C-alpha cells in the first residue's frame, strides 16, 4: 500500500487506505507504542472483503507520524505513581488526531475500531464528538479505573526497561513481550512477529520516549468511566479471557459503562490479534458496523 501524510498543524500523521472510498469507512486505531503495521494488511483486506474502506494510521509518537522529541518523557517513578509532571499531549489530543484525519479525508464519520490504547482514543472521540463515530469497537481496552483492567506486575518491566540499540535487540524485546502478553491458546508465529518488527524498526521503531509520552497521556486521563457513559454510538467490546496486559475485567467494566454496549469475550485470547482469530474478529466488526448502518427492520448479512 502507498503511505500518505496529512499535516494537522501540531502533528503530521502517516496513514494508508484499503478498499473502495465509496464503501463505509472503518478507521483502525492502534495501541501503546505500536505502529499501524500491527493492523496487518491481510486483516485490513478481510474487512475490505466484507464491504468497507479501511484506514490505518500511525498515532503521534510512533512510526512515520510526528515524534515529540523536544519534550522530556515522564520518568519511570512518575509513571509508577501515575503522576506524570509534564505531558507532551493528552488522550483528547490523540482523539483529535483521528478527527483531523477524517476531516482531511472529507469523511463526516466512520466506524472506529481501537485496540488497547487505541480503544481509549476511540472511546474518547465517541464521547466528545459523537457525530464523528457511526459505531465503536473497543478491543482489549479499559475505562482507566484502578479497580479493573490493570496490568499484571510482570508486564511493567517490558515497557520501562531501556532497550538496547539495534534491530536484533528491538526484535528480541518484542518477542519477549508477546511471550508474556500474547494469546496462550493461539501459538505465536515468531517469524511473523520479527518480520513486522523489522518493518517497524525501518519506520522509526524503538522510540522509548514516544511510548512513555503515550503512557503519560493514558495515566493523566485517569478514570474515564463517567465520560464513557456519554457515548451514544452502538458499541461492541471485545476482550480476551487470557489478557495479562489489560485483564478481561477492563473489557467488562467498559461494557458496563457504555450504554447498550455488547461484550464479546474470546476464550484463550491475550493482548494481541492472533492470525487464527482474524476471520472471527473481522466478522464481528463487520456485522456490528453494518447493523449500525442498516435500517432497524433490515437484516444484516456479512459477505466474507
β-strand pairing of 110-115 with 262-266:
unpaired
Pick the most confident of 8-12, 78-82, 207-211. 8-12
As a whole-number percent, the residues of the chain with pLDDT over 90 amount to 73
Counted domains in the chain = 1
pLDDT for the residue numbered 75 = 78
pLDDT for the residue numbered 100 = 98
pLDDT grade for 255, boundaries at 50, 70 and 90:
very high
Q: Tell whether 303 is covered by a domain.
A: no
Residue range 161-172: average pLDDT? 76
Between 230 and 82, name the one with better pLDDT. 230
pLDDT for the residue numbered 169 = 83
Cα distance between residue 67 and residue 88, in whole Å: 10
pLDDT grade for 154, boundaries at 50, 70 and 90:
low
pLDDT tens digits along 8-29? 999 999 999 999 999 999 999 9
Q: Tell whether 116 is covered by a domain.
A: yes
Q: Tell whether 164 is covered by a domain.
A: yes
What cell was used for 71? 519534550
Residue range 68-85: average pLDDT? 79
Domain that holds residue 210: 4-293
pLDDT grade for 76, boundaries at 50, 70 and 90:
confident
Cβ contacts of residue 182 below 8 Å, gap of 6+?
Answer: 188, 270, 271, 272, 274
Q: Tell whether 142 is covered by a domain.
A: yes
Between 177 and 58, name the one with better pLDDT. 58
> 156 pLDDT exceeds 70?
no
Q: What angle do CA 47, 52, 58 make, to 5 degrees?
A: 70
Residue range 44-61: average pLDDT? 98
pLDDT tens digits along 59-73? 999 999 999 999 888
Q: Tell whether 161 is covered by a domain.
A: yes
Which CATH number does the domain housing residue 282 bear?
A: 3.40.50.1820
Q: Tell whether 304 is covered by a domain.
A: no
Q: How far is CA 167 from the centre of its chain?
A: 24
The residue among 149, 106, 123, 142 whose CA lies nearest residue 6 is 106
Q: Tell whether 82 is covered by a domain.
A: yes
> 126 pLDDT exceeds 80?
yes
Window from 77-86, 126-135, 198-207, 246-255 with minimum mean pLDDT: 77-86
The residue among 56, 258, 2 whose CA lies nearest residue 141 is 258
pLDDT grade for 51, boundaries at 50, 70 and 90:
very high
> What letters, b where the CB count within 10 A reaches 16 and e where it falls short, cover 26-52?
bbbbbbbbbbbbbbbeebbbbbbebbb
pLDDT tens digits along 278-300? 999 999 999 999 999 876 555 55
- pTM comes to 0.94
Average pLDDT of the chain is 91
Q: E strand or H helix at 195, and its extent?
A: helix 190-202
Q: Tell whether 26 is covered by a domain.
A: yes
As a whole-number percent, the residues of the chain with pLDDT over 70 amount to 91
Its sign, for the CA torsion 258, 245, 289, 53, is positive
Cα distance between residue 197 and residue 178, in whole Å: 12
Amino acid at each position: 500500500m502507498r503511505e500518505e501524510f496529512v499535516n494537522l498543524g501540531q502533528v503530521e500523521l502517516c496513514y494508508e487506505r484499503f478498499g473502495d472510498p465509496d464503501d463505509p469507512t472503518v478507521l483502525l486505531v492502534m495501541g501503546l507504542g505500536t505502529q499501524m503495521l500491527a493492523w496487518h494488511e491481510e486483516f485490513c483486506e478481510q474487512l475490505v472483503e466484507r464491504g468497507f474502506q479501511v484506514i490505518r494510521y500511525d498515532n503521534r509518537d510512533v512510526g512515520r507520524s510526528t515524534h515529540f522529541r523536544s519534550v522530556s518523557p515522564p520518568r519511570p517513578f512518575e509513571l509508577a505513581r501515575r503522576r506524570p509532571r509534564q505531558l507532551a499531549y493528552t488522550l483528547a489530543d490523540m482523539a483529535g488526531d483521528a478527527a483531523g484525519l477524517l476531516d482531511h479525508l472529507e469523511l463526516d464519520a466512520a466506524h472506529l475500531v481501537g485496540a488497547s490504547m487505541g480503544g481509549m482514543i476511540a472511546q474518547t472521540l465517541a464521547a466528545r464528538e459523537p457525530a464523528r463515530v457511526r459505531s465503536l469497537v473497543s478491543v482489549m481496552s479499559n475505562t482507566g479505573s484502578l479497580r479493573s483492567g490493570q496490568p499484571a506486575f510482570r508486564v511493567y518491566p517490558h515497557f520501562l526497561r531501556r532497550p538496547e540499540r539495534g534491530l536484533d535487540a528491538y526484535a528480541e524485546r518484542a518477542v519477549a513481550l508477546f511471550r508474556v502478553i500474547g494469546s496462550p491458546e493461539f501459538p505465536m508465529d515468531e517469524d511473523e512477529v520479527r518480520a513486522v518488527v523489522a518493518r517497524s524498526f525501518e519506520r522509526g521503531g524503538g522510540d522509548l520516549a514516544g511510548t512513555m509520552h503515550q503512557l503519560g497521556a493514558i495515566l493523566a486521563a485517569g478514570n474515564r468511566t463517567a465520560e464513557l457513559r456519554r457515548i451514544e454510538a452502538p458499541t461492541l467490546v471485545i476482550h480476551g479471557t487470557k489478557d495479562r496486559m489489560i485483564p478481561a475485567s477492563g473489557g467488562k467494566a467498559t461494557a458496563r459503562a457504555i450504554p447498550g454496549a455488547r461484550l464479546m469475550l474470546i476464550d484463550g485470547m491475550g493482548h494481541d490479534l492472533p492470525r487464527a482469530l482474524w476471520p472471527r474478529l473481522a466478522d464481528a466488526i463487520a456485522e456490528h458496523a453494518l447493523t449500525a448502518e442498516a435500517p432497524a427492520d433490515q437484516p444484516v448479512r456479512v459477505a466474507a
